[in-house]
Amino acid sequence: MQELAAGIVVIGNEILSGKTVDSNSAFLARELRQLGVTLKCIVVIPDELDVIADTVRAFHQQYDVVFTSGGVGPTHDDITIEGVARALGRRVVVHPMLEAKIREYLVGRTVNAAHMKMAEVPEGAELLVDDALRFPTVKVENIYVLPGIPEILQQKFLALKPRFAAAPYYLKLIYTNETESAIAVHLNATLVLYPELMLGSYPKIGDSEYRVKLTLESKDQDYVERAFTHLLALLPKDTLVKTEG
Amino acid sequence: MQELAAGIVVIGNEILSGKTVDSNSAFLARELRQLGVTLKCIVVIPDELDVIADTVRAFHQQYDVVFTSGGVGPTHDDITIEGVARALGRRVVVHPMLEAKIREYLVGRTVNAAHMKMAEVPEGAELLVDDALRFPTVKVENIYVLPGIPEILQQKFLALKPRFAAAPYYLKLIYTNETESAIAVHLNATLVLYPELMLGSYPKIGDSEYRVKLTLESKDQDYVERAFTHLLALLPKDTLVKTEG
């Protein structure tokens, strides 16, 4: 099964200026993990053409799959298409199928320059059509251009999902009432035997149930099971809260 | 008054793997905006030493102020201090004052290697002490090292706030029931006269009150007032919902 590394580029002054909380990257992070895709980086950048172009170009080169979020629409601050085109050294062109869809959607109304802006794509882009979507998703090279509005981004991503199936991650969880300092030695000992284990240690403040959540993860199910058994045997029994997975 | 550009580096596999939703960058974005500090970039990266070092070095060079979030603590996956040290070509050393604070905090208990890890700083780092904090905040060059736990990050940032006062932003808001496509021409016309205006246009789906929120912003209060008056006169009166600011 394929292995995929992904990056997310969130474009929007409204997030950097604290007016809007980005929920799209968290949604995509959860979805990608479930698919077995490894998300390597999320970046939030302003609506600035050169910054978009440079960031998208770097992500395009570094990761197998890139998602952009935001900056698509009819107004002056929607410059993601132009940024992606510049990242790839392509021109911006009107896509005939998008233009036809927009004219069909607006039938009987005057089509203005703002509407036509939404028919623009980087030259050579593919349109991914899906029955669940009013408008297709723009894809160019390994870049999927998604909108900032969470409802539409989610619809569009769900339609894309089958493309990204990768080998799954296996996750096991341990909750303990010990402190991180007390168990660090056991975590280290487990990593000596299981160096490829993805092992996370997350303290929680003010939780009545547990102090630290440990996450053990691997794409090798047997490996994570053995590491889990090993670590569990090392941890003090009387402070173990529960395990999951 | 000073102008400050800031960057935030969020360090944590738990966010990229969709297990935890990062709330720290949204908190800092809001706080920085209120202070008049311009946040230029947020990036979320994994617990990998080279990635942390490269990212922190780039941010250190590009922005006036850098905040890191996460990766400080006693366990194997807490490698932010080492990453920041490597970014700056510095060694990691035990800070005597931190060691003393930790020993004082643990009085009567055994101090282990995991505890001592929390006394480590990049060589030459400053410790910012504040009465509201149990442990001081590590600062090195223009980099402030903050923890991932939201409650503690917030405490630490609030103690730092007075350092970052900059010239404030002035914000005015217009809510309309027009579509973006219908008002794009008016936004463009306003930007011809007020090219320095920070003008955002944000459609909302399924809101019974309005279709588009417009944000007008500047550090020049008179400028934003004049742009606001100009744009308001261009917009259709019958679809105006309200203004704010």
| pTM (two decimals) | 0.96
For residue A115, the tally of other CB atoms under 10 A from its CB is 21
The Cα of B80 is separated from the nearest Cα of chain A by a number of Å equal to 14
A31-62 CB burial, b ≥16 within 10 A, e <16: bbbebbbbbbbbbbbbbeeebbbebbbbbbee
How does the average pLDDT of chain A come out, rounded? 96
Q: Which fold has domain B5-164?
A: Molybdenum Cofactor Biosythetic Enzyme; Chain A (3.40.980)
- pLDDT value, residue A27: 98
- Contacts across the A-B interface (CB distance below 8 Å): 166
Cβ-Cβ contacts under 8 Å, B22 against chain A: 26
Residues of chain A positioned with their CB less than 8 A from the CB of B183: 75
What fold is seen in the domain B170-244?
Answer: Alpha-Beta Plaits (3.30.70)
Q: Do A201 and B73 touch (CB under 8 A)?
A: yes
Name which of A44, A79, A198 to mutate to probe chain B: the one with the most chain B Cβ atoms within 10 A of its Cβ. Answer: A44
Average pLDDT over residues A164-188: 95
Domain boundaries, chain A: 5-164, 170-244
For residue A73, list chain B residues with Cβ-Cβ distance below 8 A: 180, 201, 203
pLDDT greater than 90 at residue A206 = no
- CA dist., res. A134 & res. A151, Å (int): 13
ipTM: 0.96
Q: Taking 90 as the threshold, does the pLDDT of residue B1 lie above it? A: no
pLDDT digits (tens, 9 = 90+) for A92-123: 999 999 999 999 999 999 999 999 999 999 99
User: How sure is the predictor about A226, in pLDDT bands with cuts at 50, 70 and 90?
Assistant: very high
Two domains, one topology: B5-164 and B170-244: no
Mean pLDDT of B153-182: 95
Residue closest to A72 by CA, chosen among A151, A27, A11 = A11
Residue of A nearest to B76 (CA): A188
Per cent of chain B over pLDDT 90 is: 93
Inspect the interface and report whether the beta carbons of B202 and A20 lie closer than 8 Å.
Answer: yes
Three-state secondary structure call for residue B104: helix
Confidence (pLDDT) at A132: 87
**Quick check: B146 pLDDT over 90?**
yes
* Residue A134, pLDDT above cutoff 90: no
Candidate from B26, B40, B184 with C-beta closest to A75 = B184
Name B81's Cβ contacts closer than 8 Å, sequence gap at least 6: B72, B92, B120, B121, B122, B138, B145
User: Which residue among B18, B77, B149 places its CB closest to the CB of A200?
Assistant: B77
